[in-house]
Structure 1
Amino acid sequence: MPLGQPSSAVYIQNVPAGSHSSQPRTPTLVTLHPVALFSILDHYLRRMETQERVIGTLLGVRNDSGEVEVRSSYAVVHKETAELVAVDMEYHRTMYELHHRVHPREVIIGWYSTGSNLDTYSALIQNFYTQETGQHPAIHIALNTGVEEGQQPGVKAYVSSPVGVHPKPENCVFVPVPCEFRFHDAERSGLDLLTSESSSPLSDLETLAESLKTVSSMLDRVLGYVRSVLSGEVKGDPAVGRYLMDTFGADTGELEKGGFRDSLQDTLMVSYLAELVRSQAEVSSRLALVTAS
């Protein structure tokens, strides 16, 4: 009904039944892959000296459970001053079209920025990406590089919610969303190399040795936990127990038949052949030099 006298009351419209299914669902979890993270860091390192922060587009997939998976990203040209903020939308859409040809499943899910400052300009950029994501809420990843004094490095994820009786693009509140770093098993060796002190890639045998040390350390931790539970020092977790039963209850027939030994012999043979080819190439190059002289 209409409001008679001027007041601070807010008119709330009743939502018809059955229309809730069309409402955008707030993500329950945001997972960030290493490729996207390294792309953001590379963009930050290549920024101009006058830029305080960089922004870009996040690409990934969504599932029915509300989880958003950030798989990749690309930089977006933008200009930010005390008076205005401008984003090169044509460049942004061209980059997305090129990326979509290679990865047709990945769609725009939001944007990223470096630093932890969420201001009016962030709200305007969030409003732009909300239009790009359609019926889904746009995800904002804020990466704090930790280069500023008193700031700790870290990653946070947000979604926006409008504020006010008559919401405006520059008026919104950023609501935190759970965010975690996730990578596949095939990417573990590359991440271990990047986080290690070694500046050169490890050989196959060195990689195998490091993997065996890691597995041995994990088995020692599991064995220590099981002994603590059996002795009554620690209360057992049913979820951990079921996970251990599923893991160690797997079929070990291939291992008993010598599958691991055969795989190890294949690895050693490949390493030996690689060294042999390298030696042959070096001998051939030296013979060519002697013949030429």
Structure 2
Amino acid sequence: MPATTTEQLATLQNITVVVHPLVLLSVADHHARSVSRTSHKRVIGALLGQDNGKVINVANSFGIPFEEDDKDSKSWFLDHNYVQEMYDMFRKVNAKERLIGWYHTGPKLRASDQEINDLFKRFVVRPLMVIVDVRPQTVGIPTDAYFAVDEIKDDGTETLKTFVHVPSAIEGEEAEEIGVEHLLRDIKDSTTTTLATRVAEQLASLRGLQSRLSDIQKYLVDVSQGVMPVDHKIIYHLQDVFNLLPDLGDRTVRESFAASTNDALLVVYLSSLLRAVIALHALVDNKATGKEKEKEKKDEKEKGKDEKVEEKKDDPANDKPATTEKK
């Protein structure tokens, strides 16, 4: 008899999925080589790594031949023999990496995901599914990890299968971090200044925050209208977030915010004054240096003229008397 949904959720509650940068690069390369930029098709692959019960380390991956019908989600093909052959070859290279699940480039859940997940149960008892968004529209982690659970209803109806989201993170070893830094160094535009980069990053962060707030608003509206069921755990988390927000109606909070803003503006003002003074000092110093160089050049020219006059005086040809021609 399968475990109840509550027991499964309690088991998955403390699990964290760690995805390595090598996997993200491999998935992005697989998608770029297999799908054109104008197409919305997805690619599927297998995930390799270690599963110690609490932390699932996704360290490697490989693509799988996959086809599906865009109009009929139930029509799809996946070469499971290819998965077994590739897994056997990977085990010869690194025996520590086990087949732990599969990935696809969604970017959202599809109707056929549950059937594909059941297929991967031939290779692993509890397959992990990771959705990698290769074309992210917002700032954030481009991975979403899921596990399939059996939802048992109290009224005795048929058991349903659904996916439960688990937290994921992007972490890498020292060698991977160095490689990613080199890639970012090559991709980074050298024409942009540091200030422009910082402003662009803050703007992207604000857009990501706006997207998350829009998702929260949509969820609360759907719950209030009865479209989605009430999940008290999510409501409690949202209430904790709202409790951490400052009370802008309080006079003390407003005064502290104003004092902090004034201090920051004062620092900016003093920095601007110092920059202007340093620029003026550099200008005056440059003018003085230019005048000294002009004076040195003028002295060198006068000294050269004096030396030429002395050379003419010392020349013995100038001492010969003048001769007159006889007729």
Matched, 1:40 2:27: yes
Using the TM superposition, name which of 43-52 and 69-78 deviates more. Answer: 43-52
Aligned pairs (5 A) from 1:1-293: 25-26=11-12, 28-49=15-36, 52-64=41-53, 66-81=54-69, 82-83=71-72, 84-134=75-125, 137-146=126-135, 154-163=142-151, 165-167=157-159, 172-197=161-186
TM-score under structure 2 length normalisation: 0.48
Structure-2 change in CA distance of 1:185 and 1:48 (3 Å): closer
The answer to whether the 8 Å contact 2:151/2:161 transfers is yes
Runs of 4+ displaced beyond 6 Å: 149-153
Q: Partners in 2 of 1:159 and 1:197 — Cα distance?
A: 37
Q: Which amino acid aligns with 2:31?
A: Y
CA-CA distance at 1:69 after TM superposition: 0.3
SS of the residue aligned with 2:41?
Answer: coil
Q: Partners in 1 of 2:2 and 2:45 — Cα distance?
A: 38
Q: Partners in 1 of 2:25 and 2:181 — Cα distance?
A: 14
Structure-2 change in CA distance of 1:92 and 1:195 (3 Å): same
Q: Partners in 2 of 1:32 and 1:151 — Cα distance?
A: 17
SS of the residue aligned with 2:96?
Answer: coil
SS of the residue aligned with 1:60?
Answer: strand
Q: Partners in 2 of 1:184 and 1:128 — Cα distance?
A: 31
Structure label with greater radius of gyration: 2
The answer to whether the 8 Å contact 2:2/2:150 transfers is no
Using the TM superposition, name which of 186-195 and 43-52 deviates more. Answer: 43-52
Q: Partners in 1 of 2:50 and 2:94 — Cα distance?
A: 11
Q: Which amino acid aligns with 1:131?
A: R
Q: Which amino acid aligns with 2:32?
A: L
Using the TM superposition, name which of 87-96 and 181-190 deviates more. Answer: 181-190
TM-score under structure 1 length normalisation: 0.53
Q: Partners in 1 of 2:165 and 2:184 — Cα distance?
A: 28
Q: Unaligned stretches of 5+ in structure 2? A: 189-327
Q: Partners in 2 of 1:138 and 1:58 — Cα distance?
A: 9
Q: Which amino acid aligns with 1:106?
A: E
The answer to whether the 8 Å contact 1:146/1:153 transfers is no
Structure-2 change in CA distance of 1:188 and 1:117 (3 Å): closer
Q: Unaligned stretches of 5+ in structure 1? A: 1-12, 200-293
Q: Partners in 2 of 1:97 and 1:188 — Cα distance?
A: 28
Question: Which residue in the other structure is 1:247 paired with?
Answer: none
Q: Which amino acid aligns with 1:130?
A: K
CA-CA distance at 1:166 after TM superposition: 3.4
SS of the residue aligned with 1:193?
Answer: helix
The answer to whether the 8 Å contact 2:19/2:59 transfers is yes
User: Greater helix percent: which structure?
Assistant: 2
**Identity of paired residues, percent?**
25
The answer to whether the 8 Å contact 2:22/2:176 transfers is no
Using the TM superposition, name which of 182-191 and 157-166 deviates more. Answer: 157-166
The answer to whether the 8 Å contact 1:141/1:155 transfers is yes
Question: Which residue in the other structure is 2:194 paired with?
Answer: none
Q: Partners in 1 of 2:40 and 2:91 — Cα distance?
A: 28
Structure-2 change in CA distance of 1:77 and 1:14 (3 Å): closer
The answer to whether the 8 Å contact 1:161/1:175 transfers is yes
SS of the residue aligned with 2:34?
Answer: coil
Structure-2 change in CA distance of 1:160 and 1:132 (3 Å): same
Q: Partners in 2 of 1:52 and 1:132 — Cα distance?
A: 25
CA-CA distance at 1:61 after TM superposition: 0.5
CA-CA distance at 1:151 after TM superposition: 9.7
Q: Partners in 1 of 2:172 and 2:48 — Cα distance?
A: 16
The answer to whether the 8 Å contact 1:116/1:143 transfers is yes
